[in-house]
Amino acid sequence: MCTPIEKRRPTIPNLSGLSTGIHDSLPIALSVFSYGLIFGVLGRQAGMSVSEAILMSAGGFAGSAQFVALSMWAAPIPIATIVATTLVVNLQHVLMGAVLSPHLRSLPRPLAYAAAFLLTDESWALTIGATNTGRGSAGYFVGSGLTVYAAWIGATAAGRMLGGELRDPSHLGLDFAFTAVVAALLTGLWKGKSDVLPWAVAAVVAAVTHAVLPGKWYILLGGLIGSIVGVLFRAE
C-alpha cells in the first residue's frame, strides 16, 4: 500500500527585523513625504494626470531620477532620452546593491529581486547604519523600503491632487527636505575619523565632475572613487 506523499510546506522567508525597519523609517518617511509632495505638484504643472503621476512613482520609484525625467516631460515624450538619463542617475544603485547583497542572499531568489526594487538612498543608508550596530538584516531593509515606498506614492498622489493649492513648495521649506534627509542619514553612517578621507574624496570628485560633465555623472563617480579610496585606506 502506497503511503501518501507529504506535501511540502512552503519555506517561510526569514524577515526578522521587518517591524524594526518600519519603525526606524517612520521619521525618514515623513521627510520623503514632504519632497514627494513637490514631485506631485510639479507633475501637475507638467500636465500629468493623477494616474500617470502615481504610476511613475509606483512603477519607477526612482526619486531624483523622476525629477530629472519630469524636467524632460513634453509632447511627444522623449522615451529613449528619459530611459538613458534615468539609467545614468541610478547607476549608483549597482554599488549600493552590492553592499546589501549579503543581506539579500538570505532571501529566496524571487523575493530578493523583488526586495531590490525597494532600494533607495534612504532604505540603503538606514540598513547600513543598522548593520553597523548589529541590527541590519534583509527584513530590516524590506521594512524600511516598504515604508519609504508607501510614503513616496502617497505623497505623489497628494501633491498631484492638491497641486493647485500648493503652487510654490519652497514657501513651506519643502525644497530643503531632501537635503535635510541626506544630512540626517549621513550621521547614522559615520563610523569615526576613518571616514573623513573617503567622504572628502567623494565630495571633491562629485563637485569637480558636476562642474565638468553634464548630467548626473557626479553621483556615480563621486560614490565610486570615494568607495575605492575607502577600501584602499582600510586595507592599509
Question: In the prediction, which pLDDT does 106 show?
Answer: 82
Question: In the prediction, which pLDDT does 7 show?
Answer: 42
Q: Examine the pLDDT at 182 and tell me if it is beyond 50.
A: yes
Lowest mean pLDDT among 46-50, 147-151, 225-229: 225-229
Question: In the prediction, which pLDDT does 230 show?
Answer: 72
Question: In the prediction, which pLDDT does 172 show?
Answer: 56
Question: In the prediction, which pLDDT does 180 show?
Answer: 56
Q: Which of 79-83, 188-192, 207-211 has the highest mean pLDDT?
A: 207-211
Q: Which residue has the cell 519555506?
A: 11
User: Helix (H, G, I), strand (E, B), or coil: what is residue 88?
Assistant: helix
Q: Which amino acid is it at 123?
A: S
| 221 or 109: which leads in pLDDT | 109
| Distances in whole angstroms, Cα of residue 147 to Cα of each of 43, 125, 182, 194 | 22, 14, 17, 31
% of the chain exceeding 90 in pLDDT: 15
Residue 29 corresponds to which cell in the numbers above? 518617511
pTM: 0.68
Mean pLDDT of the chain: 77
Residue 138 corresponds to which cell in the numbers above? 534583509
Q: Which residue has the cell 541610478?
A: 90
| 25 or 185: which leads in pLDDT | 25
Q: Examine the pLDDT at 2 and tell me if it is beyond 50.
A: no
Q: What is the pLDDT of residues 109-128, one digit of tens each?
A: 888 899 999 998 888 888 98
Residue 162 carries which DSSP code?
A: S
For residues 166 and 180, what is the distance between their CA atoms, to the nearest angstrom? 21
| 74 or 157: which leads in pLDDT | 157
| 20 or 216: which leads in pLDDT | 20
Q: What is the pLDDT of residues 141-152, one digit of tens each?
A: 999 999 999 999
Sign of torsion over alpha carbons 216, 218, 221, 227: negative
